[in-house]
Structure 1
Amino acid sequence: MRRTPTEGRRSGAGTRRRSVATVALLLSGALALAGCAKDTGGGGSSAGGGTGPCQLSAPPAGAAGAPSSTAQQQPPPSAGALRVGVAFDIGGRGDASFNDASVAGLDRAKAEMGLGETKELDAGAGEPEDAKQTRLRQLAREGFNPVIAVGYAYADAIKIVAPEFPGTKFAIIDEQVDGLPNVTPLVFAEEQGSFLAGVVAAHKSKNCHVGFVGGVQTPLIQKFEAGFEAGAKAAAPNIKIEEKYLTPAGDFSGFQDPNKGSEVATGQLESGADVIYHAAGASGKGVFGAVKGAGAQAIGVDSDQYNQPTVAEYKDVIISSMLKRIDMAVYDYIAAVARNDLSTVPKKFDVAIDGVTYSTSGGKIDDLKPTLDAYKAAIANGQIQVPDKP
């Protein structure tokens, strides 16, 4: 969820541009409206309806069916000889979101590959920048190889530490680090998964009024906002959308402040939003609490939050989650290291390989699966180009 993307929007060939134009017409200009969404700096709402049921649009014609993954399935390698070090982002194990998704990949590698020794180091709120370097160096000096840095906050640190340990393989989640032969970026198309969350919100909103709560206002979290707005407006051009961030760029407390998450979500609910999507890490617990208190609905992020023990008390209001398959990325990376073939790691985890998708736990959106899969197919085949900036 919270890493700085450097990838730009994909550009299409002439035929793809013609397809996009057709889709825009079919969706009554919804995508064009989404591209014009306001970036208010801290909060606000985009123009729209919010006065009654949404005027729902159909997915693009000819896009029915879920995209099929092109990834080759290989038997799990033996990873018993590997010693894997993990440097967590703020929140660590138990955040019910980003860090726990990486833990799921690590645990799967242990179960399926017989992964050897592992070591996890936590980040501290408000810590100095060099603390990240210290964690990475500690793991490398103790012989852990590979070392996985969970989050874009490690970008500067890994650029300093990785050259000091050329024999150690490093991976960083959510940052495109180039030019370092021993660093593998694990990056995602968050805007594509958030587009699907927007479609869910539009279809499930009774007021045609939804909300987005971002943890920290960074380019990465703005990808979530942009995709969510685009999906909501594609499904319902007359929808009204609230958006607000808990903290500005540089203040990472927005990812670990449930009280502030509750406060912001409460404001959106009082304005009329009845479905709220968060991309706020552990602060999402506060969002869920506010939504439950108002009898509204919520969409989780990163992990399948309906099934997360640390937010189990709110599962009745979690209708879906945008799955950012960090678990898949961690597992695939460890498998690639075990095979000594890093070329098998995808350049980007997107909808085409289910690197980002949606959850159906709880059965609350089972009726939307054909619609969501049609949108997934349209994104995967280039009919829909999802914006990555609000």
Structure 2
Amino acid sequence: MRRRTCRTAVAAIALTSLMVVSACAKDSGAGTTGSSASAGAACEFAPAPSAPAGSGSSATDRPVDGEEIDASGLKIGLAYDIGGRGDASFNDLAAAGFDRVIKDTGVAKENTRELSAAPNEDESVKQSRLRQLAREGFDPIVAVGFAYTESLRVVAPEFPDVQFGLVDSAVEGAANVTPLVFAEQEGAFLAGVVAAYQSKKCHVGFVGGVDIPLIHKFEAGYVQGAKAAAPNIVVEKKYITPATDFTGFQDPAKGLETAKGLIEKGADVLYPAAGASGIGVFSAVKQAGVLAIGCDADQYHQPALADTKDVIVASSLKRVDVAVHDFVRAAASDDLASLPKVFDLKVNGVGYATSGGRIDAELQGILEGFKAQIIEGKIKVADKR
């Protein structure tokens, strides 16, 4: 039977308080034995909750289709965050939801428009992008990322009859802006649990793209989950760029160097919340022969990561695809009030994926147990580090 001295928290792959604790590294050899779930033999694991009856599958799918909706008369616009389509993460999820709703609702391809952002662009450029879509008759319009918050504060009142969806933020007092926000910390928590059980050194790491509050949610959840599973685990953390520099979300070369630094410190499972920079993190992980956990999408299946997918043991999911899909459908049927206030574990707005075959039934059960406790409110996952 496995000894567990690390509390396991598997429903929030974000990161709860990336604090470095060193005591666990001295527990070598005192860990569990037997299954692949106990790969982290250096850790002492805390008692883990049991999986609820009937559970056992990761939350990779969520029913989003209700009654058939004819949106063939709509013109739908999408304004990407930096990185755009092809980032193998956040923006690609938005693109997937966009593609699916076009297919499901009969919107003609010529009635869709996608526009991308540039790193550190001026606020006026974002405003111009949103105005362009609105003036050309696109409605609804999805703005992908909190970076559009201030722009929508200005632009939305100029087009009161246009419905905007804003991923990761809200605009107070703007009735035509629907916030599409997530409990990222819950998914990150589950990622932290996986990291603890997969680590051979009881020493893991977190790579943040940009040092901002949104990414702090991932950090907080991840750390809390790792320590719930293994209280004495060491968690290294490093951000690629400071809050003023958003290139940290699309610089694979810096992602690689940042990851190398954490690996040199002893981390053998890394979790990047870094957008396209995560591509470099996975390259560093493969070069070093250690492991990684994907973020936002089921990154094991991302084409851009085909050469490094074998190091990805699991992924935390942030269902931006679901939010985009559901928002457009709700706008088309004039039923925006039906959308959840927060896309969390309870509504499968966040979750985890176990593609790759490294997560055994025992660890799956532990993850489902933590997930159930988060949904029931028995575990409160912090959203600040």
TM class, shorter-chain normalised? 0.7 to 0.9
Q: Are the structure 2 counterparts of residues 30 and 97 from structure 1 closer, same or farther at C-alpha, using a change threshold of 3 Å?
A: closer
Q: Which of 324, 327, 333 is matched with 2:327 structurally? A: 333
Map of 1:19 onto structure 2? none
1:356-385 Cα distance to aligned partner (Å, 9 max, x none): 101121122143211111111000000000
Q: Are the structure 2 counterparts of residues 252 and 108 from structure 1 closer, same or farther at C-alpha, using a change threshold of 3 Å?
A: same
Map of 1:21 onto structure 2? none
Q: Are the structure 2 counterparts of residues 48 and 147 from structure 1 closer, same or farther at C-alpha, using a change threshold of 3 Å?
A: farther
Alignment partner of 1:374 is 2:372: no
Alignment partner of 1:214 is 2:203: no
Q: Which of 375, 379, 383 is matched with 2:378 structurally? A: 383
Q: Are the structure 2 counterparts of residues 171 and 36 from structure 1 closer, same or farther at C-alpha, using a change threshold of 3 Å?
A: closer
- Note if contact 1:54-1:207 (Cα within 8 Å) is conserved in structure 2: yes
Map of 2:48 onto structure 1? 59
Map of 2:150 onto structure 1? 156
Amino acid of the structure 2 residue aligned with 1:372: L
Map of 2:279 onto structure 1? 285
Q: 1:113, CA displacement in angstroms?
A: 1.8
Deviates further, 153-162 or 356-365: 356-365
Q: Secondary structure at the match of 1:347?
A: coil
Map of 1:10 onto structure 2? none
1:223-271 Cα distance to aligned partner (Å, 9 max, x none): 0000000000001111110001011112101101111111111011111
Alignment partner of 1:107 is 2:99: yes
- Note if contact 1:65-1:377 (Cα within 8 Å) is conserved in structure 2: no
Alignment partner of 1:77 is 2:69: yes
Map of 1:191 onto structure 2? 185
Q: Which of 202, 215, 235 is matched with 1:241 structurally? A: 235
Please list every run of 5 or more consecutive structure 1 residues that lacks an aligned counterpart in the other structure: 1-25, 40-44
For CA contacts below 8 A with separation 6 or more, give which structure has more relative contact order.
2
Q: Are the structure 2 counterparts of residues 174 and 123 from structure 1 closer, same or farther at C-alpha, using a change threshold of 3 Å?
A: same
TM-score normalised by L of structure 2: 0.88
Q: 1:27, CA displacement in angstroms?
A: 7.1
1:87-143 Cα distance to aligned partner (Å, 9 max, x none): 100000100000000011011112222223210001012321111001000000000
- Note if contact 1:199-1:231 (Cα within 8 Å) is conserved in structure 2: yes
Amino acid of the structure 1 residue aligned with 2:77: G
Q: 1:206, CA displacement in angstroms?
A: 0.8
Alignment partner of 1:275 is 2:269: yes
Q: 1:36, CA displacement in angstroms?
A: 9.0
User: d(CA) in 1 for partners of 2:246 and 2:236?
Assistant: 22
User: d(CA) in 2 for partners of 1:329 and 1:299?
Assistant: 23
Q: 1:70, CA displacement in angstroms?
A: 11
1:25-174 equivalent positions in 2, closer than 5 A? 37=17, 45-51=20-26, 52=28, 53-60=42-49, 66=55, 74-116=66-108, 117-174=111-168
Q: Are the structure 2 counterparts of residues 267 and 329 from structure 1 closer, same or farther at C-alpha, using a change threshold of 3 Å?
A: same
Matched residue pairs, number?
358
Q: Secondary structure at the match of 2:169?
A: coil
1:329-374 Cα distance to aligned partner (Å, 9 max, x none): 0011011011111011110000011111011211221432111111
1:261-320 Cα distance to aligned partner (Å, 9 max, x none): 111110111111110000000100110000000011111111111111111111110111
User: d(CA) in 1 for partners of 2:51 and 2:252?
Assistant: 43
Q: 1:59, CA displacement in angstroms?
A: 2.4
Task: Please give the root-mean-square deviation of Cα atoms over the aligned residues, in Å.
Answer: 2.3
Q: 1:29, CA displacement in angstroms?
A: 7.7
Amino acid of the structure 1 residue aligned with 2:49: P
Q: 1:46, CA displacement in angstroms?
A: 3.9
Percent identity among equivalent residues? 54
TM-score normalised by L of structure 1: 0.87
Q: Which of 218, 221, 224 is matched with 1:227 structurally? A: 221
Q: Secondary structure at the match of 1:313?
A: coil
Deviates further, 208-217 or 51-60: 51-60
Amino acid of the structure 1 residue aligned with 2:267: A
